[in-house]
Structure 1
Amino acid sequence: MTRHSLTERAALADLLLAVGPDAPTLCEGWTARDLAAHLVVRERQPIAGLGNFIKPMRGYGERALRRRAETPYEELISQVRNPPWWSPQSNRLADPYANTGEFYIHHEDVRRGSPGWQPRTLGADFDAALWGNVRLFSRLALRRFPAALTLQAPGLGEITAGAGGEPARLIGAPGELTLFIAGRQRASRVQIEAAPALADRLRTASFRL
C-alpha cells in the first residue's frame, strides 16, 4: 500500500517552495512560512503542542513557532521534507495515522489558499485511507456538536457522529469531508442536507479534537 503520508509530505514541500514564504493559506493569519514552521515544530518540538490543550503551555508553543519561522525558508522546507529519524508523529508505526490526514489538510491549505484551485482526483487507495481517517477522528471532532450527524462518502459508506438532536447529513468525497471536520468548511465541497439554520451552524462551527 502506498504511504500517502510520504507522498503528501513531498508534494507539500514542493508546493511550499514553489509559492514562496508569503503565500496565503486557509489557516487564518498564517502564510506558507508559518504553516511550514508549524509542521516542523509539531515533529521536532512535540512538547510545544501541549499548548493546544494546557493553557499555561500556550505561550511556549507560540514562542517555539515564532523562533522556527525565523529559519531561512529553504532550510525550513528541507526540515518539512525530511522528518527527524524519530518523533511521536513520524515514527514508522504512527506515521500513517498521524500524518496522512495532517499533510493532506495542510497541502490543501496551501493549494486552496489562493483563487483558481480545483479539487484533486486522489484515486481509490488514497480515498480509502482518508475515509479511514474520517471514521477515526470525526466522532471526536464532532462529539459536542448538537445534532445527529451522518457523514456519507459515496461508494465507501457512512458513519454517525454528533451529540444527538436534529438530523443532518454531510455528503462528500473523503478528502472533502476531512477538510470539513478540520474546520475548512468554506473551502470544502461537501453537500449538507439539513434544515437551513442547522446547515448554517455546520458551515461556521469550530470543530476541535
Structure 2
Amino acid sequence: MEPLSRSERAALCNSALEAGESAPTLCGGWDVKDLVVHLLVRERHPAGAAGIVLSPLSGLTERASRRLARQDFTALVERVRGGPPAWSPTAVPAIDRAVNSLEFLVHHEDVRRAQDGWAPRELAEAEQRAVWKALAVAGRALVRPAGVPVELRWPGAARDGEDRTTTLRAGDDPVVVSGEPVEVAMLLFGRDQHRGLRFDGPPDGVRRLRGSDLGL
C-alpha cells in the first residue's frame, strides 16, 4: 500500500484543484489557496516554517506566505504534489510518514468538509489502521489542553471483531471516544465537522474534552 502521507498528499491536491483557490476550508479564515501556501511554507521555507510554531518568528511566515500567494494557484498545488525537496527531513520516507500522514489527511478533510454536500469517505482498512497508529502517538499531545484522561476506541476493528483501544492520557474514569479513525482525527485536531463519534465517561470530563481547544 502507498504510504498514507503520499496518498493523502495527492488526494488533497486533487480536491484543492476541484474546489478552486477561493473555496473555503475549515482552517479559520483560510481559503484553499491559503491552505496550499501554508503547506508549501511548512515544507519548503525553513525560517517561515519555524514561525508557524514560534510566534516571535511569525513575521517570517507572513513574508514567505505573501510571496507564494502572488504565484499561480495551479502551479502551487503541483509543487505540493511534487513532494518535499531533497534537502528536507521529510524527504526521508520514515519521517514523511511520521510527520505528514495526519497533516495531509486532516488538511484534505479541511478542504472536503468545508464544501456543501460533503460526506465521510470510506478508507481502505490498511489506511484506517495507519490513521489509528498515528493517532496513538500524536493524540497524546492533541488532547493535552483538555486535562482529562482520554481513551480511544475503534469499534470492531480488531481481527477477532473486538474493539481496538488506545489510551492517550491515563487516569481514573477516562472519557472514551468511540468511532472511525478519520472522524476521531478530526475531533482531536479541533474540528467540529466530524460524524458518528460516541462519548462515554464522566459528564464533566466529556464537556471539558469537547469544549477544549484541541490540537497543536
TM more than 0.5? yes
The CA deviation at 1:196 is: 4.2
Q: CA RMSD in A?
A: 1.9
Distance 1:48 1:60 in 2: 5
Unaligned runs of 5+ in 1: none
Aligned to 2:19: 19
Give the alignment's TM-score, normalised by structure 1. Answer: 0.91
The CA deviation at 1:165 is: 6.2
Distance 2:79 2:36 in 1: 9
Specify the SS of the correspondent of 2:93.
Answer: coil
Q: Deviations over 1:101-128 (max 9, x none)?
A: 1111111000001221111110110001
AA of the residue aligned to 2:117: G
Worse overlay, 120-129 or 197-206: 197-206
Give the alignment's TM-score, normalised by structure 2. Answer: 0.88
Specify the SS of the correspondent of 1:27.
Answer: coil
Query: 1:25 touches 1:110 (CA, 8 Å); kept in 2?
Result: yes
Query: 1:152 touches 1:172 (CA, 8 Å); kept in 2?
Result: yes
Aligned to 2:102: 101
Aligned to 2:186: 179
AA of the residue aligned to 2:110: D
Query: 1:146 touches 1:165 (CA, 8 Å); kept in 2?
Result: no
AA of the residue aligned to 1:187: Q
Specify the SS of the correspondent of 1:122.
Answer: coil
The CA deviation at 1:2 is: 2.2
The CA deviation at 1:146 is: 2.0
1:203 equivalent in alignment to 2:210: yes
Query: 1:144 touches 1:163 (CA, 8 Å); kept in 2?
Result: no
Query: 1:16 touches 1:110 (CA, 8 Å); kept in 2?
Result: yes
Query: 1:21 touches 1:32 (CA, 8 Å); kept in 2?
Result: yes
Aligned to 2:194: 188
Tell me the percent identity.
37
Worse overlay, 30-39 or 167-176: 167-176
Specify the SS of the correspondent of 1:71.
Answer: coil
Distance 1:117 1:132 in 2: 25
Aligned to 1:81: 81
Query: 2:150 touches 2:174 (CA, 8 Å); kept in 1?
Result: yes
Q: Check 1:59–1:66 CA distance in 2 against 1; reply closer, same or farther (3 A cut).
A: same
The CA deviation at 1:159 is: 1.6
The CA deviation at 1:34 is: 0.3
| Aligned residue pairs, count | 208
Distance 1:118 1:22 in 2: 21
Worse overlay, 114-123 or 192-201: 192-201
Distance 2:7 2:169 in 1: 32
Match of 2:168 among 130, 146, 161: 161
Aligned to 1:43: 43
Aligned to 2:113: 112
Specify the SS of the correspondent of 1:136.
Answer: helix
- Structure 1 runs (4+) greater than 4 angstroms displaced: 163-166
Q: Deviations over 1:132-168 (max 9, x none)?
A: 1100111122234221111111214212223746531
Query: 1:147 touches 1:165 (CA, 8 Å); kept in 2?
Result: no
Distance 1:53 1:111 in 2: 25
